[in-house]
Amino acid sequence: MSVTSNLTISKSLFELTPDMELFYFGIIVFVFSIFNAPILALIITTLKMKNAQSPNMAFLLMNIINFCLLGQGLGHLITFPCLMFPNLLRTFETVVRIIGGIMNTLWICDLSTAKNLKSSVASRRNEIAILFQSSLVTGYISVMIFVWHPALFTTFQFIDMNDITNQAILNFMWLVHCYVNPCMLLVFNK
C-alpha cells in the first residue's frame, strides 16, 4: 500500500487515535517534554558560567551529557504527536523511527566515564555527591534497559512489549530519564 493510498483511506494525518489512553499519554509526553529544553538550557548556561569562573573538566563533561539529554528530549518533543495521531506514524514511520532511534540512544553518553586519578575533587563531600549522582542515573538507565528489552532477559519479563499502552509508558519513562540527570545535578551539586 503506498503513502497516497494510505492517506486517502484514513482521510487525514491528524485523525485522533480511537484509543483514548494513548491520547492521554500523548498529552502527558508533550507536557513533560516541553519543559525539558528550558531546564536543560538553564543548567547548561549555569555550568558554562561556573566553568568560566573556575575552569574544571567536570563542568565540561557534565555539559556534554546535558547536550545529549537535550537532544533526546527534543526527539521526544518532535515525535510525541504519533501517540495521538497514529496516521502520522503510519505515513512517516521511517522518519519517526530514525529520529526516535538516534535520540533514544543518546543515553549512552550518560554512562560513567573513568576519572583521571591525578585530578581529584577538592573534598570528600563532592566525591560522594558525584558517586550518588552517577549511581542513581546508571541505576535508572539499567532498569529501563532491563524492562525495555525483554527478549534479552527471557526469565524476567515484566511487561508485554506488544501492548501499545506499555510501549507508551516506557517511552514516557525514557522521557523522564531526561530529567533524572539534571535533577541529580541540582540535588547533589547545589
Q: Which has the closest alpha carbon to 111: 79, 147, 70, 139?
A: 139
The one-character DSSP state at 79 is H
Could you list the pLDDT tens digit for every one of the 190 residues in the chain?
444 444 445 468 888 888 888 888 888 888 888 888 898 898 889 888 888 888 877 777 778 878 878 887 887 788 788 888 888 878 888 877 777 677 666 656 555 444 444 445 466 777 777 778 878 888 888 888 888 777 777 776 777 778 888 888 888 888 888 888 788 877 776 6
Name residue 28's amino acid. Answer: I
Instruction: Please state whether the predicted TM-score (pTM) of the whole model is above 0.95.
Output: no
Residue 103 host element (H or E): helix 93-104
| The three three-digit cell numbers of residue 66, written as one number | 546535558
User: Could you give phi then psi for residue 54, rounded to 5 degrees?
Assistant: -140, 100
